[in-house]
Chain A
Amino acid sequence: MYWTSLSDFLAMGGHAGFVWPSFGLALAVLLGLGLQSRARMKAAERENAEARRDLRGEGGSREAQA
């Protein structure tokens, strides 16, 4: 390992203010995109399942009307 102490690692030779925000932002963007993509997929799966039920006429409200 290049670093000898944790404080050295965190200080990044005085450039901590540039290095850590860079890594922070990159991970935040990747994580954010990942979460949004996953959320959208889950929503699409739900909507798809409901639409299938709708087509088969199994929707609860529809049965009540029929």
Chain B
Amino acid sequence: MHALANPARFLRLMAAIRPYAAVLAVLGLAIGLGWGLLFSPPDYQQGETVRIMYLHVPAAWMAMFIYAAMAVASAAALVWRHPVAELAAKASAPIGAAFTLICLVTGSLWGKPMWGTWWVWDARLTSMLILFFLYLGYIALWEAFDDPARAGRAAAILALVGAVNLPIIKFSVDWWNTLHQPASVLTMAGPKIHADILWPLLITALGAQAYYVWMLCLRVRAEILERQARILRFSAAADRRAA
């Protein structure tokens, strides 16, 4: 664990992983989505719109997975003062927010032909909307402080508070949804998971996961180099003043 605390080692590790993640991402997304678009069958009730599921469901999975990863990284940052963990959490947030956005918009476009409205307050979409706000709040907190160390620790605490609360929020939204019984019993995930549907779904999910790793490599590298640059500039200025 502590072997990774040295930024230089981490930079090398990420540079090594990056090309593989990139290839896996492009292949996974292309094959999974291509399969879903070209080869998988339509739904007998929903017709061709069911193909949106191949975007919506992996996006939802990633939105939740990334928040969990953010929480774990934040815990590591607080407990072990691991500098890269903090940056990994920071870098993850925009990626998670992007997937949440995709999930929300595709959910809306999927729901419109099914339910006739552009937005439906079903339990899953509502939970996703709240998750989107959690991501935005986290990102805003990072931007609110001039001192990056302070911002990082505050954001880490927020991520953990959010993580503890998330199952409660999910439960309360499910509860709320059953209280206000929706007219249609159709769920967003579709009536059943058939092999013809499951495989493209899983391959797309794998591609999305690889995309996350790829983006993480890019963004964490940027964060580390930016921090180093700040320190170097600071030292250079100090040297000049001393001279």
Identify the A interface with B (CB < 8 A).
1-3, 9, 12-15, 18-19, 21-23, 25-26, 29-30, 33-34, 37-38, 40-41, 43-45, 47-48, 50-52, 54-55, 57
Distance, CA A41 to CA B220, complexed state (A): 9
Give the secondary structure class of B's interface.
Answer: helix
User: Which of B36-44, B144-152, B175-183 lies at the interface?
Assistant: B36-44
User: Which of B67-75, B95-103, B127-135, B159-167 lies at the interface?
Assistant: B95-103
Number of A-B contacts (CB under 8 A): 112
Chain A contacts of B110 at CB under 8 A? 18, 22
Q: Closest 3 CB pairs between A and B?
A: A51-B232, A13-B48, A44-B225
Chain B contacts of A50 at CB under 8 A? 229
B125 at interface, CB cutoff 8 A? no
The smallest C-beta distance from B70 to any residue of chain A, in angstroms, reads: 16
Chain A contacts of B42 at CB under 8 A? 2, 13
- Asked whether, in the complex, the Cβ of A18 is within 8 Å of the Cβ of B113, the reply is yes
Question: Which residue of B56, B106, B219, B226 is within 8 Å of A47 (Cβ)?
Answer: B226
* Size band of the interface chain B makes with A: 35 or more
- Asked whether, in the complex, the Cβ of B55 is within 8 Å of the Cβ of A22, the reply is yes
Distance, CA A38 to CA B29, complexed state (A): 19
User: Which of B77-85, B187-195, B233-241 lies at the interface?
Assistant: B233-241
Task: Name 25 interchain pairs, CB-CB below 8 A, sorted by A.
Answer: A1-B38, A1-B39, A2-B42, A12-B51, A13-B48, A18-B110, A18-B113, A19-B52, A22-B52, A22-B106, A22-B110, A23-B37, A23-B55, A26-B59, A26-B102, A30-B29, A41-B218, A41-B225, A44-B223, A51-B228, A51-B236, A52-B232, A54-B232, A55-B236, A57-B236
Distance, CA A62 to CA B48, complexed state (A): 64
The smallest C-beta distance from B12 to any residue of chain A, in angstroms, reads: 15
12 extra interface residue pairs, beta carbon distance < 8 Å, beyond A23-B52, A34-B215: A12-B49, A14-B47, A15-B47, A19-B49, A25-B105, A37-B219, A41-B221, A44-B225, A48-B228, A51-B228, A55-B232, A57-B239
